[in-house]
Amino acid sequence: MIQIAQKMTMWEEFNIEDDMQESLLSYLKDFPNADYNDLYNWACDNGCDPESHTLEGTEEVLTPEDNGGQSTLEITAFPNNKIIFQNA
């Protein structure tokens, strides 16, 4: 089997109830560098059951230049798990 992998960027979202706004802003004040996963975990820890999904039409292919010169397309041959092509 040959596996072809492409690195992409996209927008993800989840919703929480309006009454969580003050608590959310307090959390962000304490943790200004919080990322999406931190916020998702915060929501779960505070009784929410958020459903995360990708916003349709927001997927974009990354180039090696976008990715700090690192590969964004890799082709791997199995079963020996050998990378046979990278675009960087």
- Segment 13-55, tens digit of pLDDT: 999 999 999 999 999 999 999 999 999 999 999 999 999 999 9
User: What pLDDT, on the 0 to 100 scale, is given for residue 16?
Assistant: 95
- Segment 67-82, tens digit of pLDDT: 999 999 999 999 999 9
With 0-12 CB in 10 A as exposed, 13-18 as middle and 19+ as buried, what is 45? exposed
Contact 84, 74 (CB under 8 A): no
